[in-house]
């Protein structure tokens, strides 16, 4: 590349300097350096800002007056170290230099990591060989396991869950980046997060006050605004907050179509409509990935950019009977309407078709499901990550996607029970762990979610060498390395992965961001019923708000169930700001009942299986007992190494929702109010059957994960409702059983006592049924 020259830069220790081609003398210095503890910040005038740690062993190189980081400590300015070159050039150069072991590390994505790692879903970890509470470690210190996988397994993609505070997250990031910077080629950590901007229901909103992070409605609530600009604004704000936490990849958005109304992950989607979901996906990704002004490096990418990992290709919302593929009993996605192409619309027309400079979502995640009988080339029924047809032929070749493809978490682990959680090698159960990795790599996947261990990736590489030779396998994994490295280069992590803790403190959850999130919550609330214009309520109204029983809840992600408890369903201190509150229904003018939509259940019962039946039970959108007399028999798909039968029907079996107490609460309150109005506020996670209580309600307000404060703003009339339903509300369970899992808008809908149909796009304002440009654009 050129010859090395040693120059003394005023005020700087002796450092290595590369003179490119015929340059033989030191150029005018075009950079300045400041200290931030053990971090040095180097500002190149009209160039990129660098950050490096004095503990990592990295020094500076200077070329034509500009500073660069000597990440591999060879005293030469290598192509991958030169921030003037494109991300494509730099990624290709660095990938060519990496060993098989280093590429294997890049192909790993860590299991869930909390900061500090003191327990919870991610598990407790050791610090210097001791539990966190006994170790004397700081909350921002790296755990022993984190040091191990960053150092010895060369892992560089870390999934962060809970953090003690934004400041702790920033300090942890700096510690992790300093460690990575000192190893090998100095590849920085690309930290990631699942969605983390949800609401705390009883938290009070105070204009001008900050919080731990801005709070927004859930994805269904975003969809209920029918306004992609709200979602883009969320992405622009959330990306800045993510980067201030050290997070540069979002494991989102989830753009599966909610065409199967019983599915347990409907709440994470943008609803059932393909066009609305595509527009929301595009807006979300544009907001997260695009940097503007001084934050932009090139082509929309920059220091405010967050890579998005759109999920779940090719759509996970058509599981048979609503069952979820985290479990073997839900492994099959079915297509009775022959509508796989419709499931792809949010990806092809949205996530992969951006209007901005970043072009497309930089990463994609396939779902666990077996897309049953959709492989028309190799005729395999295997999980999507294992499917050459789904990944290589469909995603890569048909739709020209060349971003990173990362498996969902745990797809290579062994499964031991039909209802076991965390192991999902569907269709590849008979393979070894290394063989599973090999099959996934050869299907066109780049990365393994939830795997901290490089050994099976290296074993998979060796299997490929034995079959195809070293040259072929080296080219294959180097292809993945280039894709993975591009996403790290484009967001500026190679230049400066470090955070200013004070800036983090002032950024995350600042008042402006909190206000924007609260405004979005207000726009997401849907008024479904308002008989005799009972709403809005006057400030002098006396309101009875009955206590609510929260039954034990079993998370679909495993772990122990919560204990049942009686609660105040709304923060009474907030409620008193709006109305007179009484605990005596006889004194009340109206009642406000707070409930959640029926919990559909999982669709499988170990008790049923132990009784000699097949274990499959209905998933219900009813509160009360439901007998599945119209269920499909036989099932469309079935078969598992742990089962001796194929037919997964649950016909004529009966279930009751775990939260049937919510229905009882409405009916009991209706009785106590003796004809006075009952207002029902329902937090909705899935479509639901309204016929059980709608007659007993004067008004129904639907929300999708918002703060109590936002609900009261609507009920009190301080804000007019404008939200619209992001999916249909079915007439009954017969309609649900007979709809097609892969087809949207195919159910007969509930009609209330006021004559309104609870269809996709329905909502009321104070003036009546909303009909505006949104309902014209997004129609069935």
- Average pLDDT of the residues in 327-343: 98
Contact of 80 with 90, CB cutoff 8 Å:
yes
Question: pLDDT of 450-461, one tens digit each?
Answer: 999 999 999 999
- Strand pairing of 542-544 and 590-596? parallel
Q: What is the pLDDT of residue 211?
A: 63
Q: What is the pLDDT of residue 552?
A: 82
d(CA 622, CA 599): 8
| pLDDT at position 708 over 80 | yes
366 sits in which H/E element: strand 363-366
Crossing angle, helix 228-244 and helix 274-289, to 10 degrees? 30
Question: pLDDT of 37-89, one tens digit each?
Answer: 999 999 999 999 999 999 999 999 999 999 999 999 999 999 999 999 999 99
d(CA 603, CA 737): 13
- Average pLDDT of the residues in 687-695: 98
Label residue 601 by pLDDT band (50, 70, 90): very high
Question: pLDDT of 91-108, one tens digit each?
Answer: 999 999 999 999 999 999
Q: What is the pLDDT of residue 558?
A: 61
Contact of 280 with 345, CB cutoff 8 Å:
no
Label residue 198 by pLDDT band (50, 70, 90): confident
Where are the extended beta strands (E) located within 463-564? 526-530, 542-544, 548-550
| pLDDT at position 13 over 60 | no
- Average pLDDT of the residues in 536-559: 86
| pLDDT at position 426 over 80 | yes
Lowest mean pLDDT, pick from 159-163, 325-329, 631-635, 686-690: 159-163
| pLDDT at position 435 over 60 | yes
- For residue 17, list its beta bridge partners: 5
Q: Report the half-sphere exposure of 313 (CA within 13 A, side-chain side).
A: 32
Q: What is the pLDDT of residue 9?
A: 42
What is the sign, positive or negative, of the torsion defined by CA atoms of 685, 686, 692, 698?
positive
202 or 543, greater pLDDT: 543
Q: What is the pLDDT of residue 574?
A: 93
Question: pLDDT of 356-378, one tens digit each?
Answer: 999 999 999 999 999 999 999 99
Q: What is the pLDDT of residue 403?
A: 98
Question: pLDDT of 20-49, one tens digit each?
Answer: 322 334 578 899 999 999 999 999 999 999
Q: What is the pLDDT of residue 553?
A: 75
Global pTM reads 0.94
Contact of 264 with 329, CB cutoff 8 Å:
no
d(CA 340, CA 319): 12
Contact of 323 with 602, CB cutoff 8 Å:
yes
Whole-number average pLDDT of the chain? 93
Q: What is the pLDDT of residue 780?
A: 79
Question: pLDDT of 619-663, one tens digit each?
Answer: 999 999 999 999 999 999 999 999 999 999 999 999 999 999 999
| pLDDT at position 6 over 50 | no
* Alpha-carbon 171 to chain mean position: 24
Q: What is the pLDDT of residue 11?
A: 36
d(CA 749, CA 381): 34
Note every long-range contact of 550-558, with CB atoms under 8 Å and residues 24 or more positions apart, other chains counting. 550/659, 551/658, 551/659, 551/661, 552/658, 553/599, 553/658, 556/264, 556/265, 556/324, 556/326, 556/602, 557/121, 557/326, 557/421, 558/421, 558/422
Question: pLDDT of 239-249, one tens digit each?
Answer: 999 999 999 99
**Hey, how many other C-beta atoms are within 10 angstroms of the C-beta on 165?**
16
d(CA 688, CA 667): 17
What is the sign, positive or negative, of the torsion defined by CA atoms of 670, 672, 673, 674?
positive
Label residue 15 by pLDDT band (50, 70, 90): very low
Lowest mean pLDDT, pick from 20-29, 224-233, 672-681, 770-779: 20-29
Q: What is the pLDDT of residue 62?
A: 96
d(CA 526, CA 225): 9
C-alpha closest to that of 181 among 511, 506, 494, 605: 494
Label residue 117 by pLDDT band (50, 70, 90): confident
Q: What is the pLDDT of residue 88?
A: 98
Contact of 322 with 264, CB cutoff 8 Å:
yes
């Amino acid at each position: 590349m050129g010859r090395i020259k040693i120059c003394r830069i005023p005020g700087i220790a002796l450092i290595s300097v590369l003179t490119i081609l015929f340059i033989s003398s030191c150029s005018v210095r075009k950079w300045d350096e400041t200290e931030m503890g053990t971090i040095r910040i180097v500002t190149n005038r009209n160039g990129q800002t660098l950050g490096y740690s004095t503990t990592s062993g990295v020094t500076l190189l200077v070329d034509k007056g500009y500073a660069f980081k000597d990440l591999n400590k060879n005293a030469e300015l290598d192509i991958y170290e030169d921030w003037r070159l494109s991300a494509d050039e730099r990624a290709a150069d660095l990938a060519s230099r990496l060993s098989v072991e280093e590429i294997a590390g890049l192909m790993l994505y860590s299991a869930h990591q909390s900061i500090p790692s003191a327990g919870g879903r991610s598990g407790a970890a050791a610090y210097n060989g001791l539990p966190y509470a006994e170790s004397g470690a700081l909350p921002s210190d790296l755990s022993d396991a984190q040091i191990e996988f960053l150092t010895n397994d060369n892992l560089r993609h870390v999934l962060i869950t809970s953090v003690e505070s934004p400041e702790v997250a920033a300090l942890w990031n700096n510690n992790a980046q300093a460690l990575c910077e000192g190893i090998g080629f100095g590849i920085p950590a690309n930290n990631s997060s699942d969605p983390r901007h949800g609401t705390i229901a009883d938290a009070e909103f105070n204009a001008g006050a900050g919080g731990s992070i801005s709070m927004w409605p859930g994805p269904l609530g975003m969809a209920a605004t029918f306004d992609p600009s709200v979602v883009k604004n969320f992405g622009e704000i959330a990306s800045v907050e993510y980067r201030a936490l050290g997070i540069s990849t979002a494991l989102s958005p989830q753009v599966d179509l909610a065409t199967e109304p019983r599915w347990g992950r409907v709440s994470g989607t943008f609803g059932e409509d393909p066009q609305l979901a595509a527009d929301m996906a595009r807006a979300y990704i544009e907001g997260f990935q695009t940097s503007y002004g001084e934050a932009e490096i090139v082509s929309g990418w920059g220091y405010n950019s967050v890579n998005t990992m759109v999920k779940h290709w090719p759509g996970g919302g058509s599981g048979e009977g609503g069952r979820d593929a985290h479990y073997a009993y839900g492994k099959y996605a079915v297509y009775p309407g022959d509508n796989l192409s419709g499931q792809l619309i949010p990806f092809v027309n949205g996530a992969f078709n951006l209007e901005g400079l970043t072009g497309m979502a930089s990463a994609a995640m396939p779902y666990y499901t077996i897309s049953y009988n959709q492989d028309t080339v190799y005729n395999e029924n295997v999980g999507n990550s294992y499917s050459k047809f789904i990944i290589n032929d469909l995603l890569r070749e048909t739709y020209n996607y060349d971003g990173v493809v990362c498996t969902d978490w745990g797809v290579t682990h062994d499964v031991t029970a039909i209802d076991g959680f965390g192991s999902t090698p569907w269709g590849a159960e008979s393979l070894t762990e290394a063989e599973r990795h090999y099959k996934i790599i050869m299907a066109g996947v780049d990365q393994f979610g939830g795997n901290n261990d490089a050994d099976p990736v290296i074993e998979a590489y060796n299997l490929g060498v034995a079959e195809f030779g070293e040259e072929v396998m080296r080219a294959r994994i180097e292809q993945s390395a280039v894709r993975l490295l591009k996403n790290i280069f484009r967001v500026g992590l190679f230049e400066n992965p470090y955070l200013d803790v004070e800036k983090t403190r002032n950024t995350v959850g600042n008042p402006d961001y909190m206000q924007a999130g609260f405004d979005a919550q207000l726009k997401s609330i849907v008024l479904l019923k308002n008989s005799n214009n009972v709403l809005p309520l006057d400030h002098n109204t006396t309101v009875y708000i009955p206590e609510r029983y929260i039954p034990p809840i079993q998370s679909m992600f495993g772990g122990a169930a919560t204990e049942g408890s009686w609660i105040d369903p709304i923060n009474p201190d907030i409620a008193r700001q709006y109305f007179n509150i009484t605990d005596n229904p006889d004194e009340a003018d109206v009642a406000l009942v707070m409930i959640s939509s029926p919990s559909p259940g999982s669709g499988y019962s170990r008790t049923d299986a132990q009784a000699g039946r097949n274990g499959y039970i209905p998933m219900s959108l009813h509160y009360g007992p439901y007998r599945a007399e119209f269920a499909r028999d036989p099932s469309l798909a079935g078969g598992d190494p742990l089962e001796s039968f194929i037919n997964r029907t649950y016909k004529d079996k009966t279930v009751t929702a775990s939260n049937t107490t919510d229905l009882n609460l409405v009916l009991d309150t209706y009785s106590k109010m003796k004809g006075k109005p009952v207002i029902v506020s329902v937090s909705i996670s899935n479509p639901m059957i309204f016929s059980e209580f709608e007659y007993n309600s004067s008004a129904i307000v639907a929300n999708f994960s918002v703060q109590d404060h936002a609900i009261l703003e609507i009920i009190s009339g301080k804000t007019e409702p404008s939200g619209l339903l992001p999916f249909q509300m079915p007439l009954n369970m017969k309609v649900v059983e007979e709809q097609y899992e892969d087809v949207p808008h195919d159910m007969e809908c509930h009609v209330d006592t006021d004559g309104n149909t609870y269809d996709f796009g329905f909502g009321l304002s104070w003036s009546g049924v909303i009909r505006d440009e949104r309902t014209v654009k997004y129609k069935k």
